Amino acid sequence: MKRVKIISDSTCDLTKELINELNIEIIPLYVNFNEESYFDGVNLSVEEMYKLVEIKNTLPKTAAPSPGAFYEAFKKYLDQGYEVVYLGIGSKFSATFSVANVAKQMLANDNIYLIDSQNLSSGTGLLLLKAAKFAQMGMTGKEIQIQIEKLVPKVRSQFVIDTLEYLYKGGRLNALSALVGGMLRVKPIIKVREGVMAVGKKGRGSIKNGINLMLDEVFQEKDQIDPEFLMITHSLADESREYIETRVKDEIKIKNIYNTSAGCVISSHCGKGTIGVLYILK
């Protein structure tokens, strides 16, 4: 029986410890400040990225890895006799999935299985945890693909945005909305559903008000949450993370709560202080 290698990209926002423990190969996306190009999480940290944003007064542009990066990663493991399962950022959020498909076509190998997570950040990470578990159980690449695709619509990802500046500068919010949001100190809840982002309820005032709104919605479906694991993912928001973790532990029986940090690509789109709760429904 062939071994299975799980490959993802840097937007999955899993901790280095989990990535190493589960033996997942990570292909980084690009983070570009004009002529300066960096690899997400390799030679640019989130803290460094935010400093560059302040210095340059501009947001970076993010870009998918090259077909060659996927080609080399896929080929390396195929040559070692592995089946390859790639599971990364959703196809509607980035060209990354399409680029992976180009590499698959270049290799013309049926032992490569591509899964569209229809998600981002640790919403993808949750599916990777499941995929790695299935691989350890001895499932084939095809079996893993089938099982993960059943779970894709059950992933729930929601984030509270602390500042509208990054959404505005990134072209995702018009100037009037940004102005009104700043005046009212709106803390919108962004949800990922069916492969796209949508704005949910909007907290006003402190970030804690937005977090409480988000948690109220999470707790409404606590009996439907897969108890295996839950993610709390944030961009430099440790104080909020501690508050959320305490409340989640009081309300939901979860075997593993993972605290993870959003990488440069995700942070460049949502901004400092963003924090989310992500899980899979039974």
- Residues 74-106 as b or e (16 or more Cβ within 10 Å = b): bbebbeeebbbbbbbbbbebbebbebbbebbee
- Three-state SS string over the chain comes to CCCEEEEEEHHHCCCHHHHHHHCCEEECCEEEECCEEEEECCCECHHHHHHHHHHHCCCCEEECCCHHHHHHHHHHHHCCCCEEEEEECCCCCCCHHHHHHHHHHHHCCCCEEEEECCCCCHHHHHHHHHHHHHHHCCCCHHHHHHHHHHHHHHEEEEEECCCCHHHHHCCCCCHHHHHHHHHHCEEEEEEEECCEEEEEEEEECCHHHHHHHHHHHHHHCHHHEEEEEEEEEECCCHHHHHHHHHHHHHHCCCCEEEEEECCHHHHHHHCCCCEEEEEEEC
Res. 60: pLDDT tops 50: yes
The pLDDT confidence band at residue 40, using thresholds 50, 70 and 90, is very high
Res. 272: pLDDT tops 90: yes
Q: In the prediction, which pLDDT does 197 show?
A: 83
Residue of higher predicted confidence among 200 and 223: 223
The pLDDT confidence band at residue 187, using thresholds 50, 70 and 90, is confident
Res. 214: pLDDT tops 60: yes
Q: In the prediction, which pLDDT does 184 show?
A: 58
Res. 176: pLDDT tops 50: no
Chain position carrying tokens 């402190």: 206
Lowest mean pLDDT segment, chosen from 23-37, 170-184, 196-210, 229-243: 170-184
Rg, C-alpha atoms of the chain: 19
Q: In the prediction, which pLDDT does 183 show?
A: 52
Q: In the prediction, which pLDDT does 204 show?
A: 84
The pLDDT confidence band at residue 163, using thresholds 50, 70 and 90, is confident
Per-residue pLDDT reduced to its tens digit, 112-159: 999 999 999 999 999 999 999 999 999 999 999 999 999 999 999 999
Mean pLDDT across 243-264:
97
Q: In the prediction, which pLDDT does 173 show?
A: 59
Q: In the prediction, which pLDDT does 74 show?
A: 98
Res. 108: pLDDT tops 70: yes
- Report d(CA 59, CA 204) in Å as an integer: 25
Mean pLDDT across 9-38:
97
What percent of the chain is predicted at pLDDT more than 90? 82
What is the rounded average pLDDT for all residues in the chain? Answer: 93
Q: In the prediction, which pLDDT does 174 show?
A: 58
What percent of the chain is predicted at pLDDT more than 70? 94
Q: Which domains does the chain have, with CATH numbers?
A: 4-152 (3.40.50.10170), 155-281 (3.30.1180.10)
Residue of higher predicted confidence among 57 and 129: 129
